Amino acid sequence: MLNAGTLEETKIDMAEIEARSTEIIGPSVPNMPWQDRPTGSSDVMWRFDQNPIMGPREIPCALGVYNSGLLPYEGGFIGVFRVDHMDTVPFLHLGYSKDAINWDIEHEPIPFVREDGTPSIIQWAYDPRLVEIEGVYYISWCNSLDGHGPTIGLAATTDFKNFTQLENAFLPFNRNGVLFPKKFDGRFAMFSRPSDNGHTPFGDIFLSYSPDMKYWGEHRWVMGADFKHGWWQGVKIGAGSIPIETTEGWLSFYHGVTSTCNGNIYSVGASLHDLNDPSIVLKRSYTALLAPEKDYEVSGRVPNVIFPCAALADAETGRIAVYYGAADTHMGIAFTTIDTVMEFLNNEKPREHCS
């Protein structure tokens, strides 16, 4: 277990709050993890000094616990975790925490049932996201469509005891389904990344709408992977954490991938989207906020991977904690603030000589 005592106590600087030009729209999360940016650092995003918070054998069945979604819940935190079992097949497990650092992960996968009450047959499931929309908690993940390839699985719960699996959102092949935490004109909205059935060598982010979480349409291209936005995201990109609503737009942390002679490298970027039409990109990273550097990020079952899947955001202080999978083996936390990210995005511009 990690020593939460090394975390700084929450200290609220009212002058700093009043000076913020961009505000997070949402609840206060005063008990979320936090550490100030290290002295002398100019990083936009900085790592928790107790990373990684989870390792490869977090529970007896697990080769790794990573790429997971979480939320504040009943004074503590709750999460849906990707757990790769010892036979390498991934499933979704529930987890609880008082501090969002030390987690108790259930040893058995979530027992989903279909809408008619019969048990669901989950062949494999990975990279879940968790979001609350109008009092219902929704899980999205990469799910097998009856053995025909990966698509976006969906499920709903109101109590984290009973989990109803909904219809898969799309045909194969698709990954990185990320729901928005509010509806748009009564419609659910979701980012996704159409792909192929293998180790996808391409990928752009699209937006889709649904009136009922069953039928999805009005698909819109959002943004693409290309070298003019930086080599770190030249091969493919994918939505990461649940978008954060701010006074300036929807803030999204996403992953970008570049290909090297030693394999792919996954890094973290940020984008800002129009509040009423998230397919409109207002600002976007040209440089990565966080790239694999630490041992637990560059070495593991899939080396050189930082993969954001969740973020906690405190509306009162503007603090943000991004949770990410590291090398498909560990889980880490990185911190930033809304002011820091917005200053970064406001000053981002492409290199003129890149193509």
Q: Could you read off the pLDDT of 217-227 as tens digits, one per residue?
A: 999 999 999 88
**Does residue 297 surpass a pLDDT of 50?**
yes
Decide if 43 is inside a domain.
no
Res 20: pLDDT: 57
How far does CA 342 lie from the centroid of its chain? 19
How far does CA 135 lie from the centroid of its chain? 20
**Does residue 15 surpass a pLDDT of 60?**
no
Q: How far apart are CA 235 and CA 203, in angstroms?
A: 7
**Tokens at residue 105, please?**
């992960």
What is the SS3 assignment for 233?
helix
Res 5: pLDDT: 43
Decide if 196 is inside a domain.
yes
Task: Write down the residue that tokens 């560990």 correspond to.
Answer: 330
**Tokens at residue 79, please?**
């999460």
Q: What residues contact 326, with CB distance under 8 A and at least 6 apart?
A: 51, 52, 66, 292, 294, 296, 297, 300, 305, 306, 307, 332
Peptide bond into 344 cis (omega under 30): no
pLDDT single digits (tens) 114-124: 999 999 999 99
Nearest to 181 by CA among 279, 80, 251, 112: 251
Strand partners, 257: 236, 266
Q: How far apart are the first and last CA of the chain?
A: 47
Domain that includes residue 73, residue range:
52-347
Judge contact between 233 and 225, C-beta under 8 A. yes
Arithmetic mean of pLDDT, 155-169: 98
Decide if 32 is inside a domain.
no
Judge contact between 310 and 284, C-beta under 8 A. no
Decide if 47 is inside a domain.
no
The total of structural domains in the chain comes to 1
**Does residue 54 surpass a pLDDT of 80?**
yes
Arithmetic mean of pLDDT, 133-146: 97
Arithmetic mean of pLDDT, 194-223: 96
Exposure pattern of 22-60 as b/e (b: 16+ CB <10 Å)?
bbbeeeebebbbbbeeeeeeeebbbbbebbbbbebebbe
How many other CB atoms are found less than 10 A from the CB of residue 287? 17
pLDDT single digits (tens) 310-348: 999 999 999 999 999 999 999 999 999 999 999 999 999
DSSP H or E segment with residue 194: strand 188-194
CATH number at 145 reads: 2.115.10.20
Q: How far is CA 134 from CA 22, 131, 320, 331, in A?
A: 24, 10, 22, 29
**Does residue 7 surpass a pLDDT of 90?**
no
Decide if 44 is inside a domain.
no
Decide if 10 is inside a domain.
no
Judge contact between 319 and 16, C-beta under 8 A. no
Decide if 152 is inside a domain.
yes
Confidence band for 8, pLDDT divided at 50, 70 and 90: low
Look over the chain and give the mean of its residue pLDDT values, rounded to a whole number: 94
Decide if 135 is inside a domain.
yes
Range 75-81 contact pairs with CB under 8 angstroms and sequence separation of 24 or more: 75/31, 76/31, 76/100, 77/312, 78/130, 78/160, 79/103, 79/130, 79/310, 80/110, 80/128, 80/130, 80/139, 80/141, 81/105, 81/128
